[in-house]
Chains A and B, each alone.
Chain A
Amino acid sequence: AQSVTQPDIHITVSEGASLELRCNYSYGATPYLFWYVQSPGQGLQLLLKYFSGDTLVQGIKGFEAEFKRSQSSFNLRKPSVHWSDAAEYFCAVGGNTNAGKSTFGDGTTLTVKP
């Protein structure tokens, strides 16, 4: 069975500081990994995804993530956080054999201090 763990429920960073959100997954084959962002009252928007190739992937809004197969991790990073980055972030895992069904982590809420 596939699963995703986001160990940090809530993270607070100062504006301009760097950010890393952790994601660990369990999947029996080569995973497809996603990071989504959700602003209050909104749906989820894709930040970036990995399914093959370079293990460091770039996304929108200056985010990047690194796939580490040996650690079963797909951590999200941003070098300098902006106040508008405050939101909830979800990591998800899926695969080509599971017909588009993704399993989501419980989410990490990011608060940005001025």
Chain B
Amino acid sequence: NAGVTQTPKFQVLKTGQSMTLQCAQDMNHEYMSWYRQDPGMGLRLIHYSVGAGITDQGEVPNGYNVSRSTTEDFPLRLLSAAPSQTSVYFCASSSDEQGGEAFFGQGTRLTVV
């Protein structure tokens, strides 16, 4: 059971480049989320999804797009990377059961130069 898998683990981008961070889960969870983690700021929610075909914005959505075409996958797209998007990105999934906790991927460390 792989849980939540994120790729790549590390990425360096130039300002203005675009890329997609991949996230896949094999637990048949309805809920999936993307967070970014910056020093001293905890985790901040970027986008989330409550099921295939349904997405919504979190706390810091600007500069990011998401889609959810299947239950398993929830990619995060950076349309035009900026240095302010240098961060560690975590994907998480959770079930819709009462009190269901989030399961996290290992993270993607992104540097924008």
Contacts and interface: CB of A to CB of B under 8 A. Distances in A.
Asked if chains A and B come from one complex, the reply is yes
B68 to A, nearest CB: 13
Interface residues of A, number: 27
Interface string A10-42: 000000000000000000000010101000011
Contacts of A45: 104
Nearest to B35: A104
Interface in B62-98: 90, 92, 94, 96, 98
Interface residues of B, number: 28
A106 B101 contact: no
Interface in B6-52: 30-31, 33, 35, 40-45, 48, 50
B98 A96 contact: yes
A83 to B, nearest CB: 23
Contact of B96 (A9, A100, A103): A100
Given A90-B43, A104-B42, A52 B99 contact: yes
B40 A43 contact: no
A101 B40 contact: no
Contacts of B60: none
B58 interface: yes
Given A52-B99, A106-B40, A99 B106 contact: no
A99 B48 contact: yes
A4 B59 CA distance: 14
A44 B43 CA distance: 10
A52 to B, nearest CB: 7
Nearest to B100: A100
Contacts of B103: 46
15 contacts: A9-B40, A36-B102, A43-B90, A43-B106, A43-B107, A44-B43, A44-B102, A90-B43, A100-B30, A100-B48, A100-B50, A102-B33, A103-B45, A104-B44, A107-B42
Interface of A: 4, 9, 32, 34, 36, 41-46, 49-52, 90, 92, 96, 99-107
Interface of B: 4, 30-31, 33, 35, 40-45, 48, 50, 58, 90, 92, 94, 96, 98-107
**Leading 6 A-B pairs by shortest Cβ distance:** A51-B99, A100-B31, A43-B104, A106-B42, A104-B43, A100-B94
